[in-house]
Each structure stands twice: as structure tokens, then as C-alpha cells.
Structure 1
Amino acid sequence: MKNMLKLMLCLLAFLSMRPVNAQVTAPVDSASAPKGAPIVLNRDTLFYIYHPVGSFSKEERAAAINKRVLQLSEERFLQPDSVKVVENVLSTDIAYMDRVLMSITEADAAAVSRPRKELAELYAGKIKQSTIEKARQYSLRSILIEIGLAVLVLIIFFFLVKYVNKLFHLIFRKIEEQENKRLKGLKLKDYEMLTPAREVAVVLTVAKFLRLIVMFVMIYILLPILFSIFPWTEGYADTLLLYILNPLRNIGMGLINYIPNLLTILVIVVVTHYVVKFLRFLAGEVESGKLEVPGFYKDWSKPTYNIVRFLLYAFMFVVIWPYLPGSDSAVFQGVSVFLGILFSLGSSSAIANMVAGLVLTYMRSFKLGDRIKIGEISGDVIEKTLLVTRVRTTKNEDITIPNAMILNNHTTNFTTCSEQSEKGLVLHTTVTIGYDVPWPKVHQALIDAALATPNIEKTPQPFVLQTSLDDFYVSYQLNAYTFAASKMAATYSGIHQNIQDKFNEAGIEILSPHYRAQRDGNMVTIPAHYLPNDYQAPSFKIEQVKAEVAMHS
């Protein structure tokens, strides 16, 4: 294997040592000399034509000379010694046998500051040398050597492919052997993202893809080597190499030229990072109460920090935008405008909820854990985000309310009243009692019922308000103080139970809202265990009325 690699390296070094034809150029003043038309053979520039002749421009002259020189190089039985210089009156010709390849005028000689005949001999020597070199390359011996080299390269490539495949098969086996050893799967807390078998499959897929890349690179290197062996395909070798070298060179130059912008972006990002870090420290100090700012509440610290951080990062992105590669291209700008329009049209309600969330944050209407009422929904706040607020009702139902809806409705916060008020939250309930019951008796029974209820404060004492005098009854409103806003439902239930008990003990019948009964014949509505043992329902007075009617008759 090592010997094979050494042979391959030697072959590459041999192929890279192409003959370089030294181009002897006549001394020409580059500042004063006109631009010449090249005479080229085998991709080697022999000399230049600087002046026209008659109606032929220098480019037309160069094209005609190139055609004749190429035809000369393709002569099957080329006789290089037949290339001669023929002196004429007006020009000096370079001819092959009886064919004139080109003519050199006094203007051509003056352009390179040489005598006409000397320049013609110089050009004739270059044409002769170049045609001999090309004929040698296309000789049978050269072709056989080139075929042999191509076969050798293919053999080396075959063994390289064979051993690379063996290497990758060995890697595949090693990967499969690592199942439940080094490849134990991938877990994120309690969630198993990849089992050991799946992780092995993923690694094998990556390894197989890597093998394909290696094979592609080897083939791509092989083709230029093969093309460079034969003279008529050398152009394809250079073209294939340029397909890789030009992008790599462009990428490399682009990276080098981008270094100043990259450093600028790095400085901006680092400064922004430390500013955000300092603001996070300040927010933590305010939230913990160590740092007090007049008029700034502690629960504002975290949302304010999040808003300022977002604005800082947005400002940072705006500042570094001009330094990003391709930011000034029309395509990049068009995509940015399209995304902006799409975001604006598709997120109007989301933006409204975000703005409402910010407003609610600084209104301090409620916080996590508060017992609130929004419209017809009552419950405890369990989550408060920029878009929605989640409330858990007394029936253990989680209700998601958009912040825009909360902002458009009135919000009642029971917890704030019970925590921030010295007296607590006032719970109230109404009961209607007939006019036949003295109101002091009703007041005392209601107050006793409130004081007998858990979570009701003794001080301040509960009080009763008579809210209305209706047609059939009087409305009594019981008001009691509590600090247990989260237990309102249970407290109300206890108050209602105790009202029934205290009224029954006091002998007060709850005949509301409209209860019809005849007192001379019906049993009272008070439960039996509250009545005396000798209690009997009164009888009707119908007989007495009938007896009086009979006497009068």
C-alpha cells in the first residue's frame, strides 16, 4: 500500500513537470508600443503582430498566420529544415517549401526595434521549434508512452478504490461493534431521542455519505490526470481543475477580504453581549429587592429586561446588517421585503396580543397566583405570557385568554384587595325575609352566621345592609371580611350553610323570594329538629267560620 502511494506521488510529480518554452521577446517599450495580436501554437504564444498590411488589420494577419502555422504543425511528413527566410524588396518572407507562412515588413521590424532579416530569422526559429515539439508529441512513440501512463494511472486508481472501500468497510464494522458501548443512544432528560440501534444507523449513514464524497473527489482528481497525459486533452484537464480551484480561490479571497467586516461584527456582538449581561444583573438586583428605584416595581424588572434585551439585539442586527455578505444584493433585499410583508399581514392579531401583554405588564392588573375575574371567567392565574394568559377555574379548568381580550374587558383582582387592604376582601350575599320578622333579629342572625364561617375575619366585624324594601320581603345584604381570596367558593358555601342554621335556630323562616303559605293550617318551614317537642301544626278555622254562619242564619 505504501509503495503504491509513493508511485502515485511520483507520477503526479512527473505529470506536473510540463516543458516550458522560453519565449524570447524582443525589447519593446511597453509605454509606446501598440498592443499586438498573438501568434499561438500549442497554447504557447510565439510572437505578436503589431501592424496591418494593406487592407488587412493586424488581427486578420494574425488569424491567417495562425491558420498556416497550425497546418504546418499537422504535416504528416514535416521537414523542419524546409522552413526558410526569403528576402524580398518590400518584405522578408518566412516560407515552408513553396508556401509563404508570413511576411515581415519594415513596420513590423520598427515596432520591435530590430532589423527586418534578424526579426524574420527569430520568428522562423520559433515556428520551427514549436512545430517540431508538436510533431514530437503526436508521434507514435509519444502516443504509446502516454497510453502506458494512462493505463498505469488507471491501475493505481483501481487499487486506491479497492483499498479505500476496504478501509470504509472496516470502519462500518467498527461502528456496528460500538452499539451499546460508545453508541448508547441519545437522551434528553427522560426522552430517548435515539436508541442505540438508531444512533448506529445515523453514524453509518454519515460514514457512507463520506465514502461517496471521497470517491467523487478521487474520480475528479483522476480525470485531470488522465487528460493531462495526452496533448490534445490538456485543455480539459486545466478546465476541470479550474472548476474547483476558481471557486476555492474566490472563497479564500472572499474570506480574506471579509476579515475587517468580521472583526467589526465581532466587536458589536461582544459589546452587546456584555451590555445585556449587565442589564440582567441590574434586573436581578431589582427583582430581589437589593436595588430600589423610586416608582419602579419589582415585578417590572424581568419584563423590562426582556424588552430592553430584545431592542438591543434588534439594534445590533440593524447595525451589523450592512456588514453581512450579500446584504446589498437585490435578491437579499427582495426576500427581506417579502418576509416583512408576510409577517405584517399574518401576525396582526399576534402583534395586538403582544402589545396588550406589554400594557398589562405595566398596568399591574394581576400577577401569577392571583384570583381574578375576567368577564364571566373566574380563577387563579397560572401562566402569564406576552401573547396569552392562562386561568385555572375553581372547577379545575384551564382557560387560555388572549391578552387583547383581557385589555378590552374589565378585570377584577380579588387577591390584590385581600393582600393590600388592611381590612381584607369583602364577601357579600343577599337574603330576603318577610316583613313579619323584626329586622334586628335578622341582622343578628346574619352576623352570627358570618362569624361562624371559617376564613371570615372577626375584626372588622361583619355588617348587614338592607338594600331594598320589596313588595313581599326585605332584602338583607350580609358583608364580611376575609383575607383568603383563593378560598372564596368554599367561604361563600360556608356562609350560606351557616345562614340556614342560624335562621333555623332563631326561628326565622326563609320565605324568599315568593313563598305562599297559610299560617293557620300549614306547618312552619323550619326543620323539625329545631322545633319544640310538643309542636303541632295549627288547625284551619273553617269550622268556626261555618258555625258562626249557622248561628246568624
Structure 2
Amino acid sequence: MRFATFALLSLLLAGIAAPAQPQAAIPASQPVELPRADDGTLSAEVRLDGRSLFRVRGISALPARERAANILANIVAAADDPQVDPAQQRFTAVNGYYALYIDGQFIANLLPEDAAIEHVQLPVLAEVTVERVAQAISEYREARSTSRLLRATGVLVLFTLLAAALLYAVNALFRWFSRLTERAVKQRIEGLERASHRIIDAAQLWGFLGSLVRGLRAIALFAIVLTWLNAALGLYPWTRPFASDIFHLVLNPLEKMARGVVQSLPDLVFLFVLTFVVRFILRATHTFFLRIHRGWIHLENFDRDWALPTYRIVRILVIAFALVVAYPYIPGSDSEAFKGVSIFLGVVFSIGSSSFIANMIAGYSLTYRGAFREGDRVRIGEHVGEVVNVRALSTQLRSLKNEDVNIPNSEVLASAVVNYSTYSRDKGIILHTDVGIGYDTPWRQVEALLLMAAARTDGLEKEPPPFVLQTAMGDYTVVYQLNAFCKDATRMPALYSALHGNVQDVFNEYGVQIMSPSYEADPEAPKLVPPEQWYAAPASPPQPEG
């Protein structure tokens, strides 16, 4: 085994040590290594002007790429030497391998391993290869002759003029087609928009058609340029290797995509059926919860306000389950790139969405908590206003000053919520205010005055009747609290203002001094406002009705 390896290495080195020939520039198309055997050795093609001549085998000490490059240099050197006659070709058997010569100039050594690549006998391979090399040298010289290059240049000019004419014609054709389409179709699209009551957007549909026409125009222009480029590169021997690669650059990806679609067709059919089933389940579920929301279906211990939020949760669970089922059938899901992108997106989502998920969970918790609903007057922390919208991530309030306040649901969940509207619809909410009156005023008189002030305030309920509580007996005053019912929580600020005004009026009428919020000593005269000063300028008395 060691002797055979040594002999093969010696033969390869003998090919390299053959008489040195002038080195010529190697064409841009380099030999491409291809795996050919299970033992790890590689083969490489000897290519001249983009044309494959034959393949050779290499070993680790002398790779196939390097060996093919040396042989190609010998062929180019023989072709560049006008003294070498390609018709003078021969091959000689030397110690189990064949040496190839063109007019006495060494070209290459062919080994039994090279013949094994083509599955032919070594003498047959040597004979065919030397003839192919001689023919390639003749074609190499012919392609670089002055007459051939002049003719190629003339053809290139003709092709260029033809391509320019085609480009101009295609542009003119598509401009004419665009104008024709605009006259014939645009008015119909606008009529369709009016007939559909603006459900169909004419501008969007016309934009889609325009994009389609522009896409077809771009494809036509690209095909013309690509064809011209392929023809132009194929005219000259130096660029001919690239000519065959031009279409491969475009067609190979399309071919791979088409092949991938065909191979993935069963999986795509499964995904299509799964999508149809999931859409059917979601529609049926939405219909069920929508009927609960509208009150058509009644479930025990299930509030109708929970219906749509519950549907959203069920929808997320159904879609998540569908994604788990569909994942193995997604084309490319088993590739490392797909897994890497999935892990990356998962990490980014988990890092950046902590507050997002917290607010969403808090939003659903608030729904089932039943602390408030849209239209309620509430106080959340320091914010007081009417609930305008309860979203998945935030709660929107309209403050008493007509301000738009958005509060994250996580903050709402962590705060104490005071709902003024929950009982105001049925029993009514109690408005209360405190006044401090001295001990020298009979408490029964104070209570009567407070109840009189409540009776004068429009908007307060008569039933249940207002009532007064003595909440504290301070050092100098007794604190009286007036309580009155109201069924419209949105009028609380206005009712408080009216109630306070009536309290002042009543106490002034009966000469009772309000001593709150603080008291130091008895004044010489009670701190009262006489009736004749109630409407001092610029105030004006109310006009009598009628």
C-alpha cells in the first residue's frame, strides 16, 4: 500500500518536473474541485475558454486543483507558441502512465486513476485526450485571430444596436399600454368604488394594477439586457467562460425555488388545510362569544362583558396550538438558519416584551376583575375621569378637564380603583361635604339648614332623603357632614359646586357663621354676608323665569 502511494506521488511529481514551458495567463474560469471518491481524494476539471477538456485526480500532497492548473498552463503555453503544430500529437506509455505531447512539447501525464474517473481504459483516455487538447489549441488560436476578433466586434455592435432598439420599443409599448389601460380601466375602477360605497379603494386598486404593469416592464427590460450580455460575453474568448454563467446566476435560484416548491407541495397542502380548519374554528368561536356579548346566549356565572376578552384569549391559544402543529411542516424549518432566526426572535421578544406582556395580562385581569367598564366615572390613583376605552395594554380616561389620559394596565392593576358609577345607576352615589359650626349654635338648627341647602340643589335625589351626621366634636366646633344621593356620577363636580353655594346662602340667610376650616377667637361681629351683598358687582341676580 505504501509502495503504491509512493509510486503515484512519483508519477505526479514527474509531470510537474517535465521541461518547463513559458507560463501564460490562466483564464478567469478556474478548475472546480468535485468530490469523486469515498477515500477523500478530489478531482478537478481542466477548462480552456470555459470549455471542459478532461478531469484529473489529485492527492493531498498535490491537490487536483493545482495539478489541473499546471496542465492548463502547459496547454496555454503550447497554444501561444505559433511554432507548435497541433497536428503533431502523440502519447507515450511510461511505467504505467501515459505522457501527452503536442509537437514535442509536454502537456500532461495521465494516470490509471484519471481513467477510473471516466470508467475507460488508460490508452483510450490518452488517445481521446490528446486529440481533444490539439483541437482546443486550434480553436484557441482561431478565437484570438485578428479576423475573428474583428468579426466578433462587428457582431457586438449589431447586437448592441438591436438591444437598444428593443429597449426603446419595449418602453414605448408599455407607455402606450399604460395610457390605454388608464383610459379603459381607471374610470371603471372609480365607478366600482362608488358602487361599493367606498368599500373598494380605487386608488389602491389602480396602484396595484400600475405596479403589475411596471413589474412586467422591468422583467422584459431585464430579459433584453441579460440576453445582450450573454451574447456579448460569448463573442470573445476571454469573457466566454462568463457567458454560460450569466443565465445560471438567474435561472439557478429560480430552479431551486421551483424544485423546493414541488418538494414541499405535500407540506404546503397540509398547511393550507390547517389554515382553513383554524379559520373555521375561529369564526365559530367568535360567533359563539359574540352571541354571549349581545345577550342571545346566557351562561350561568359568566358576565356578558367577559365574552369578547375571553374570545381573544381563546383565539391566541388556538393560533398558538396551530403554530405548534404547523411548525414541522414549514419548508426549511429543519435548517440551522431557520432555527437560529427562531431562537434570535424568541430571545428578542422575551427581552423586549416583558412590559408588553405584563400590561396585556393586566388588561385581561381587569376585565375579569370587573372593576369598571366603558362609560364609568372612576378614580385610578391620582387620575379622575370617565372610562373611554379599555384596551389590551392600557386604559383610556377622559379627565374632568377633558384631557385624554392613558394609564398602563399594569399600573391600573396595582392601584386602588374607585368607581363612582357602579351603584349610582341603581341606588345612587352619596355626595358629602363637611362644615364646622360653633357650639353656641343649636345642632338641630344646623342640621335643618344643611337639609334645606340640599333641598335647594337641583340634581340631588329626594329619595332616599339627604341626612346629616355629626362626625367630630373639636375644640371649638362641631363638624357636621351633609350626605345626599345622586344617580348621575358625571355631574358630581357641578353638584358639589351648587351644594356648597346653597350651604353658604342658607347659613347667611339665618345668620349662622361657618367657622371651618379653622377658628382662633370670637369676632366682634359674625362673619356673614348679608343678602343685599349676595350679588355684588360684577355678579348679577338670576332673571325670573317667563
TM-score (norm 1): 0.65
1:44–1:461 distance in 2 versus 1, CA, 3 Å = closer
Task: Note the alpha carbon deviations across 1:238-262, whole angstroms, 9 max, x for none.
Answer: 1223222322222222222232332
Counterparts of 1:436 and 1:102, CA distance in 2 = 132
Aligned equivalent of 1:512: 515
- CA-CA distance at 1:283 after TM superposition: 1.9
Aligned equivalent of 1:23: none
Answer yes or no: is the 8 Å Cα contact 2:439–2:478 preserved in 1.
yes
1:42–1:373 distance in 2 versus 1, CA, 3 Å = closer
Amino acid at match of 1:454: D
Answer yes or no: is the 8 Å Cα contact 2:84–2:103 preserved in 1.
no
**Matched position secondary structure for 1:292:** coil
Of 457, 464, 472, which aligns to 1:460? 464
Amino acid at match of 1:238: S
Of 428, 438, 442, which aligns to 1:424? 428
- CA-CA distance at 1:365 after TM superposition: 0.6
Instruction: Indicate whether 1:226 and 2:229 are aligned.
Output: no
**Matched position secondary structure for 2:425:** helix
Where in structure 2 are the equivalents of 1:184-203 lying within 5 Å?
none
- CA-CA distance at 1:336 after TM superposition: 4.1
Aligned equivalent of 1:278: 284
Count residues with an aligned counterpart. 480
Instruction: Indicate whether 1:245 and 2:248 are aligned.
Output: no
- CA-CA distance at 1:233 after TM superposition: 5.0
- CA-CA distance at 1:333 after TM superposition: 4.0
Instruction: Indicate whether 1:469 and 2:473 are aligned.
Output: yes
Amino acid at match of 2:322: M
* Bigger mean CA offset, 218-227 vs 228-237: 228-237
Of 497, 500, 507, which aligns to 2:501? 497
1:146–1:432 distance in 2 versus 1, CA, 3 Å = closer
* Bigger mean CA offset, 462-471 vs 480-489: 462-471
Where in structure 2 are the equivalents of 1:303-318 lying within 5 Å?
303-318=309-324
Answer yes or no: is the 8 Å Cα contact 1:371–1:415 preserved in 2.
yes
| Unaligned runs of at least 5 residues, structure 1 | 1-34, 51-57, 531-553
Answer yes or no: is the 8 Å Cα contact 2:508–2:531 preserved in 1.
no
Counterparts of 1:437 and 1:370, CA distance in 2 = 41
Aligned equivalent of 2:4: none
**Matched position secondary structure for 1:308:** helix
Amino acid at match of 2:409: N
Counterparts of 1:367 and 1:309, CA distance in 2 = 22
Instruction: Indicate whether 1:353 and 2:356 are aligned.
Output: no
- CA-CA distance at 1:484 after TM superposition: 1.7
Superposed CA RMSD:
5.5
Counterparts of 2:281 and 2:504, CA distance in 1 = 65
Answer yes or no: is the 8 Å Cα contact 1:391–1:400 preserved in 2.
yes
**Matched position secondary structure for 1:237:** helix
Instruction: Specify the structure having the higher radius of gyration (Cα).
Output: 1
Of 386, 390, 400, which aligns to 1:384? 390
Amino acid at match of 1:428: H
Counterparts of 2:175 and 2:276, CA distance in 1 = 46
* Bigger mean CA offset, 168-177 vs 252-261: 168-177
Task: Note the alpha carbon deviations across 1:110-129, whole angstroms, 9 max, x for none.
Answer: x999999x999988987888
Answer yes or no: is the 8 Å Cα contact 1:175–1:203 preserved in 2.
no
TM-score (norm 2): 0.66
1:156–1:382 distance in 2 versus 1, CA, 3 Å = closer
Answer yes or no: is the 8 Å Cα contact 2:376–2:386 preserved in 1.
yes
Answer yes or no: is the 8 Å Cα contact 2:49–2:238 preserved in 1.
no
Counterparts of 1:36 and 1:430, CA distance in 2 = 102
Aligned equivalent of 2:307: 301
Q: Taking every aligned residue pair, what percent have the same amino acid on both sides? A: 34
Flag the structure with more relative contact order, 1 or 2, with Cα contacts below 8 A and sequence separation at least 6.
2
Of 438, 444, 451, which aligns to 1:440? 444
**Matched position secondary structure for 1:247:** helix
| Unaligned runs of at least 5 residues, structure 2 | 1-41, 58-63, 534-546
Amino acid at match of 1:492: Y
Counterparts of 2:469 and 2:503, CA distance in 1 = 15
Where in structure 2 are the equivalents of 1:94-133 lying within 5 Å?
none
1:502–1:255 distance in 2 versus 1, CA, 3 Å = same
**Matched position secondary structure for 2:465:** coil
1:161–1:419 distance in 2 versus 1, CA, 3 Å = closer
1:153–1:476 distance in 2 versus 1, CA, 3 Å = closer
Answer yes or no: is the 8 Å Cα contact 1:437–1:508 preserved in 2.
no
Answer yes or no: is the 8 Å Cα contact 1:384–1:390 preserved in 2.
yes
Answer yes or no: is the 8 Å Cα contact 2:437–2:515 preserved in 1.
yes
Instruction: Indicate whether 1:396 and 2:399 are aligned.
Output: no
- CA-CA distance at 1:353 after TM superposition: 2.7
Answer yes or no: is the 8 Å Cα contact 1:283–1:301 preserved in 2.
yes
1:437–1:183 distance in 2 versus 1, CA, 3 Å = same
Counterparts of 2:114 and 2:370, CA distance in 1 = 94
- CA-CA distance at 1:476 after TM superposition: 2.3
Counterparts of 1:402 and 1:107, CA distance in 2 = 76
Answer yes or no: is the 8 Å Cα contact 1:175–1:204 preserved in 2.
no
Counterparts of 1:87 and 1:333, CA distance in 2 = 57
- CA-CA distance at 1:364 after TM superposition: 0.8
Where in structure 2 are the equivalents of 1:76-225 lying within 5 Å?
146=152, 149-164=155-170, 167=173, 217-225=223-231
Aligned equivalent of 1:5: none
- CA-CA distance at 1:349 after TM superposition: 3.5
Answer yes or no: is the 8 Å Cα contact 1:94–1:103 preserved in 2.
yes
**Matched position secondary structure for 1:290:** coil
1:263–1:445 distance in 2 versus 1, CA, 3 Å = same
* Bigger mean CA offset, 393-402 vs 35-44: 35-44
Answer yes or no: is the 8 Å Cα contact 2:92–2:99 preserved in 1.
yes
Counterparts of 1:175 and 1:107, CA distance in 2 = 66
Counterparts of 1:338 and 1:437, CA distance in 2 = 78
